[in-house]
Structure 1
Amino acid sequence: MDMNKKIVTSLLIGSIAVALAACGNDAPEKQAQETASQTQERGNAAASAPEDSYQRTFEDCVFLGDSITEGLSFHELLDEKNVLAGAGKTAEFSLEDIGELTKRNPKQVFIQLGSDDILWPTDDPIAYSMKNYAKLIGKIKEKLPQTRITLLSVTPVTEEAVKMEPRYQNIGRYNQAVKELAGKEGASFVDLSPIFSGGSDFYDADGIHFKSEYYTKLLELLKEQAK
């Protein structure tokens, strides 16, 4: 009887020791899994932080423009409510957006037009565009007198794009006209050329439109304007 008790006791102690050893081996593995999961969550939060920050910074703004401007919402740096733009938009066509812009009632509107205006089939596309650009600014002042207006320069294109479409050589002249118009109309003007001063690989395949990295640089440049 005593021998049986010893055997049972030995088996019980052995089972407990195995169980404790198993728990000890699982603990580091579980801790490592939890640490990896927490690190990934922090990484995801950090990755989304810039976009969230831009949406907060520009929550009371609207970007009005063509397909270049549309990239802000396409690449999801800003919500669609903050972007009123589309392919083929010119200063003339943007007059049709005044009603929608008035509904959104932004504190500030950033206008970037010209990439399509420069290609308009008329004798003097720059003069034609400036006439409609002035009308656009006038309408915004009339409907939204408290809204601040900032005009943005037309972004440069690659040399290959100029070879394909020589009229892009007039971007510099167009931007000078926009700067002068801003002065006449009491609007702000921002030259975007510093974004490209160190060279860039921001361009999409067509050499005209941009990858998301460009829009991050754009919003960084403009965030002080939005305060």
Structure 2
Amino acid sequence: MRRKLKLKPKVKRAGIIFLAVIVVLSGFLIYRVWNHNATLAQGLDYIQEQENKKVKELSSSLKDKKNAEMESAIESGQVDVFALFDDAVIFGDSRVMGFSVYHFFPESHVLASSGATIKDISNWVNQAQSMNPSLIFFSYGVNDMGLGLDSEGGYDTLYQSQIEQVVKVCPDATIVVNSIISATPAAIEKSPRWDKVDEYNKKIKAMCEKNDWIYVDNSEICQNGNADIYQADGVHFLQPFYTTWAENMIMTVRKQ
């Protein structure tokens, strides 16, 4: 009968220590490999992020350059700004009617009437649907302020609900909303109902931001009512202003 060999205590300890060293080394190697892979992944993510950033910056730079060239071409008369509205319609009041009265837009593209308010948008929904334009502009305000439409649940809420009727039938169109263009100080003095332009415009802008619609700020081109663009009543516009207004609208859209 063979006798079982008994390991000496020193041999057992050496074996345990050896195994422990192997475990520690294996853990260390696994950690180094994992850490290397994690660092490599972070590095690749950073490189990709920088590449995406460069592409965006380049795209933005090219867009800015093209817009500057377009703006220059419009100002020099090389490009007819109104030709850029071929696939557009504009909703509005008597101010907007000037686009067709002065023959800048075809009458069918101007969905407006004298004395109109945002409540009249629904009257033109079917026509907008039949035309199915890629750009839809809105410009109201002077009559809305006169009727105090802000008291009916909030001007922005009412305006939004009206525009949504158009969005429903023209879901692919880009929606562009003009700020209210101020009347002259003299006109406001005669009729204080027009002195709430800033208040209404804040709500229009917030509405656009909420719905991802484009907001056109017209305060600079009208100089808050002090520009030489008004007819004798201080509310309606002279013919040359429509070109300036159209340029402001279309360049605002292009810069988005």
Q: Distance in 1 between matches of 2:204 and 2:219?
A: 14
Return the TM-score normalized by structure 2: 0.64
2:245 pairs with 1:213: no
How big is the shift at 1:57? 0.9
C-alpha RMSD of matched pairs (Å):
2.3
Q: Would the alpha carbon gap of residues 55 and 216 (structure 1) be closer, same or farther in structure 2, given more than 3 Å must change?
A: closer
Q: Would the alpha carbon gap of residues 124 and 79 (structure 1) be closer, same or farther in structure 2, given more than 3 Å must change?
A: same
Structure 1: gaps of 5 or more residues: 1-48
Q: 5 Å matches for 1:33-182?
A: 53-120=80-147, 124=151, 127-182=153-208
Q: What residue in structure 1 maps to residue 18 of structure 2?
A: none
Q: Deviations over 1:165-218 (max 9, x none)?
A: 101111110111100111112211010011123942210010000011111111
Q: Deviations over 1:56-103 (max 9, x none)?
A: 210001111111111111111222122111111111121121111111
SS of 1:111's equivalent in the other structure is strand
SS of 2:142's equivalent in the other structure is coil
The letter of the residue matching 1:177 is: K
Q: Distance in 1 between matches of 2:111 and 2:215?
A: 19
How big is the shift at 1:121? 5.0
Q: Distance in 2 between matches of 1:122 and 1:106?
A: 28
Q: Deviations over 1:101-121 (max 9, x none)?
A: 111111010101111111115
Percent of pairs with identical residues: 27
Q: What residue in structure 2 maps to residue 183 of structure 1?
A: 209
How big is the shift at 1:130? 2.6
SS of 1:212's equivalent in the other structure is coil
Q: Distance in 1 between matches of 2:218 and 2:237?
A: 14
Q: Would the alpha carbon gap of residues 57 and 122 (structure 1) be closer, same or farther in structure 2, given more than 3 Å must change?
A: closer
Q: What residue in structure 2 maps to residue 224 of structure 1?
A: 251
Contact 2:187 2:233 in 1 (8 A): yes
Q: Distance in 1 between matches of 2:181 and 2:150?
A: 23
* Bigger mean CA offset, 147-156 vs 53-62: 53-62
How big is the shift at 1:150? 0.5
SS of 1:189's equivalent in the other structure is strand
The letter of the residue matching 1:142 is: K
Contact 2:92 2:111 in 1 (8 A): yes
Return the TM-score normalized by structure 1: 0.72
Structure 2: gaps of 5 or more residues: 1-75
Q: Deviations over 1:30-72 (max 9, x none)?
A: xxxxxxxxxxxxxxxxxxx96x823321000111111111111
Runs (4+) of structure 1 exceeding 3 A deviation are: none
Contact 1:91 1:129 in 2 (8 A): no
Q: Distance in 1 between matches of 2:119 and 2:222?
A: 28
